[in-house]
Amino acid sequence: MHVGIDNAANGHGAKAMRAVEMYLDRVRQQSGSEEEVQRQWKRIWNGFVAFETTGTLAEDIRQLIMDRRNSTPETDLIDMINQKKAYGRFNHGSKTIQGELINDLFEDPQLLLDKLSGDKRYITPGDPVNSGFLQKLTFDGPMYKVFSDDEIELWRRWVVWLGAKPQPQPKPPAPAPAPPAQGPAQLMAALIAALKNDQLGASAHQHYTLKGPDPNNPGQQVTQPVSW
């Protein structure tokens, strides 16, 4: 009815109304009770009225289904941590994970899981049996009965999921910095080095001399032929 109510005279609305009448006639024939007819009519009417008063129920259900389709063990675990936050954030005293107070980490469940999964004392990705955190949930552990069996299974699925989760690839090394721009002195030194073999044999370079700082005796001057 709610689909065709806009045309109650001769369209889908009329057909829907006729379907209700036929149904109630059958109820009257089979039950022989007017009371049963009225009870069934009330059920139909309540259903029709509910469509106008349920607000965003249909959209909420659709979104819930979509959320479930897109959920992962980690998103489900975050939901569970949020549900337990009211109690969990007061129960861990001064205990920390990687320098962060566990009580404070309940305000950011994703960070809490990141800290757990990043500490090999607690989580071995892909290996629930050897993960220290799950061992704490056993009969001999300090967190025995903190979680239900279903919740422990969720923790286990999360650890398995971590092992199958694609790991971030290491960043390629940064390219080597470009050499600094060379000034005239560096360029001249390179030119001299390139021409050295040819110039050593020039006779004039044996006779002409240059005077300058002695590289072997700082602070002193030395005079040598250009070939030197």
Task: With CA atoms as reference, report the closest residue to 79 among 102, 113, 119, 125.
Answer: 113
Nearest 10 degrees: Cα torsion 99, 151, 75, 136: 20
* pLDDT mean over 129-133: 93
Assigned domain for 38 exists: yes
Same domain, 81 and 50: no
Q: What is the DSSP string of 192-208?
A: HHHHHHHHHT-THHHH-
Same domain, 36 and 110: no
Is the per-residue pLDDT at 1 higher than 50? Answer: no
Same domain, 208 and 142: no
* pLDDT mean over 180-195: 84
- Which residue range is the domain that position 88 belongs to? 71-164
Q: How far apart are CA 107 and CA 100, in angstroms?
A: 12
Tell which of 26, 48, 64 closes a domain. Answer: 64
Assigned domain for 221 exists: yes
Same domain, 117 and 77: yes
At residue 156 the predicted structure's pLDDT band, cuts being 50, 70 and 90, is very high
Same domain, 77 and 58: no
Q: How many domains does the chain have?
A: 3
Phi and psi, residue 62, nearest 5°: -60, -45
Phi and psi, residue 198, nearest 5°: -75, -35
* Residues 6 or more apart whose Cβ sits within 8 Å of residue 147: 137, 155
At residue 49 the predicted structure's pLDDT band, cuts being 50, 70 and 90, is confident
Q: How far apart are CA 126 and CA 24, in angstroms?
A: 60
Same domain, 54 and 80: no
At residue 132 the predicted structure's pLDDT band, cuts being 50, 70 and 90, is very high
Same domain, 28 and 79: no
Give Cα separations from 171 to 90, 117, 174 (angstroms).
Answer: 39, 21, 8
Is the per-residue pLDDT at 188 higher than 60? Answer: yes
Summarised one tens digit per residue, pLDDT across range 4-22 is 555 555 667 778 888 899 9
Same domain, 18 and 58: yes
Q: What angle separates helix 73-88 from helix 109-117, to the nearest 10 degrees?
A: 110
* pLDDT mean over 179-183: 74
Lowest mean pLDDT among 62-71, 109-118, 175-184: 62-71
Q: Tell me the average pLDDT of the chain.
A: 84
Assigned domain for 5 exists: no
Cα-atom radius of gyration of the chain, to the nearest Å? 42
Same domain, 60 and 140: no
**What is the reported pLDDT for 58?**
64
